[in-house]
Structure formats: structure tokens, C-alpha cells
Amino acid sequence: MSSGKYGDEFDNTSANSAEGYVKTIERALTNGWNKTTVGHHIVRNNIISDCEQTGIVGSLGAIFSRIEGNHIYNIWTKRLFNGAEIGGIKLHAAIDVLIRKNRIHNACRGLWLDWMAQGTRVSGNLLYDHSSEDIFVEVNHGPFLIDNNILLSGCSLSDVSEGGAYVHNLVAGAINAWQELGRETPYHPPHTTEVAGLVNVKGGEDRFFNNIFAPANLTEPRDKFGLRMYDAREFPLQTGGNVYYNGARPSAREMDPLVVPNLDPGIAIVEKGNDVYLTMNPGEGFAKHSTSLVSTDRLGKARIPGLAYENPDGSPLKVDLDYFGKPRDPMAPGAGPFVNPRPGKQEIKVW
């Protein structure tokens, strides 16, 4: 399913270089691709499966859209095609796009946000069983928000971006994070397709608040679980309220994380017909961990564009609902995607 891509007689110049793709964007904007004329799609409650490249794709054509409630699976399973669009959802320029409450599994990449993910929100999605990673954020400069997601593949996140906010997620896989100094990519004034400038990606400068890091697949090196890999970045993380199980490690600069090194919370997915359940055991001390509500004020401004984390209409946001839409306690919102999971082994229906 394609949400649109700008193309012209010069478009093949974008195939092999960042500079060529930037020129394609410039021509698109010159020819009227903007907030008034393009995007605003609603892609809702579809079943998308057995696609041999990507389930939902777009390049500038998905701006200001909503993608929600879709079940996307069996993507690139036969390896009939290849290329740089392989994923359950693959978007270039997801400006002010809301991606929420989708179930995406058995793909190469679950969700791939490539360039110009500014004002993007990824909220309440269930991602698992991907051969590469659940979420890949590539050469973006923020602000974008990834909250209340369940990320259960061997690699949960590949981060070659900056200015992202990761809030109330359950992260069962590894994190790969690196710089991209050889490509300069666009950032924008707020809520528009106009280009404010081009810059490379030094990495870091992300926000991680109230997440659970609970390694469930230990095929990756232990130092890839948690946030320790960000410690060498020039621009430090903002962190708080995170929980680390089973050997996952906090950033060296994080104050008062809850670290439970010897408890495996038993994170696993169980499919029962069309229903999906998550098994977990958060332990006894989980509910007492100190957390604070995440909002526009707390997140501050992304460094490169100098912009706040806010709703597409410019209003302030609060991450005050959980995965199921239940209200969080504003004084103690808890960690992870669920409000106050009980102690002990449990099975939670998540789809």
C-alpha cells in the first residue's frame, strides 16, 4: 500500500546518494508538495500481509497522516525482492504522522522511519518476530516521540538519529546506535515541509523516560541491552524512571534507575487464534519505583531544529495514557506501557 512519492524525470538521481534525494525533495517542494496539497491519509484497520517488499510505504506522500489499527505481517518472507524499502511500514518524511495501535510481526524491519521524521508519534504498537529490528530510525533530527510500544524482537531499536523521545516502552531486545557523519539530511520549521537546513547525525541527545528494558533474547552482546551504549556520545541522553532487568544496564549518567540484574521477567508472546497475549513477571519492587509524568515541558526542545515535542496542531502533549488508553497517575505514572501491572507471573491480552 503506497501513500505516495514524488517523482520526475530527474528522480533516478535519488537512488544512490543523499544529495540526489535532497534534490528530489527540493523539486517536490518547488512543485507544490506541501501541507495543503499532499498527505493527510487515514490508513486504518486493514490486514496487510504477504508483501514481498513492504506493507505500507511512502516518500513525502504520507505527511500529516494517521496509520492505525492495522495488522501487518509476513513481509519479505520469500526474499523475492530487495532494496531500501523493506519493512512492515517504511516511510520517508513522516512529518507529523501518527502511527498507533498497529500489530506488526514477521517482517525484516517492523517500522522504518527514514529521513525527516519530525513531529512523528509512534504510540501503542505491538512489534515482534522481526529478522532485523522492531524500529529503525534513520538520519532524523527530531523531535519525534515513540511511546507505549511493545518491542519484542531480538533487536528492538536501531538508532541512527538524534532528538528522539522514548517513553513508557517495553524493550525486550537489543539497541544498536551509531552516528552518520557522511550524510546531511533535512530538518524543518514546525509542522511544515519547508527545509530549514541540512546536517549530519552525531547521535545521542535522545530522551528515555519510564521505559522497561527486559532482555528476552540474549543472542546479542550484553552491552547492547539498556542505554550504556550512548555514554560515549558528545550530546548526552536525558533519562529518568527507567527499569532494567536481567543484565540490561542504564546510562552512566542516569540518576536512580531501578536495576534488577538477577530477575528475568519472562517476557514472551503467546498467540491464541486471533488474540495475542504477553507473559511477564515484573517482580515485587516494580510498583514502588519513582517515576514522573512526561510532557512537552519535561522533554524540552530537540537540539538541531530547536523545536518542542508537541502535537501536530502546536498544542502541548502529555503521555498520560497507557497502551490500552487507561489514564496514568500524574504523580506516579509508572514504567512501561501498562498502568500498574500486578506482581507475579501474568498473561496480558495485547491484541
CA distance 151 to 131: 13
Q: Is the pLDDT of residue 49 over 60?
A: yes
Secondary structure (3-state) at 12: helix
pTM check: above 0.85: yes
Q: Which three cell numbers stand for residue 118?
A: 519530525
CA distance 41 to 269: 31
pLDDT tens, residue by residue, 303-326: 999 999 999 999 999 999 999 999
**Cβ-contact 161, 142 below 8 angstroms:** yes
What are the phi and psi torsion angles at 20 (to 5°)? Answer: -65, -40
**Cβ-contact 247, 261 below 8 angstroms:** yes
Nearest to 208 by CA among 173, 234, 243: 243
pLDDT tens, residue by residue, 78-133: 888 888 889 999 999 999 999 999 999 999 999 999 999 999 999 999 999 999 99
Q: Is the pLDDT of residue 269 over 70?
A: yes
Quote the CATH superfamily of domain 29-349: Single-stranded right-handed beta-helix, Pectin lyase-like (2.160.20.10)
Residue with the bigger pLDDT between 256 and 143: it is: 143
How far from 344 is each of 120, 217, 284, 289, 336, CA to CA, in Å?
A: 35, 21, 8, 16, 16
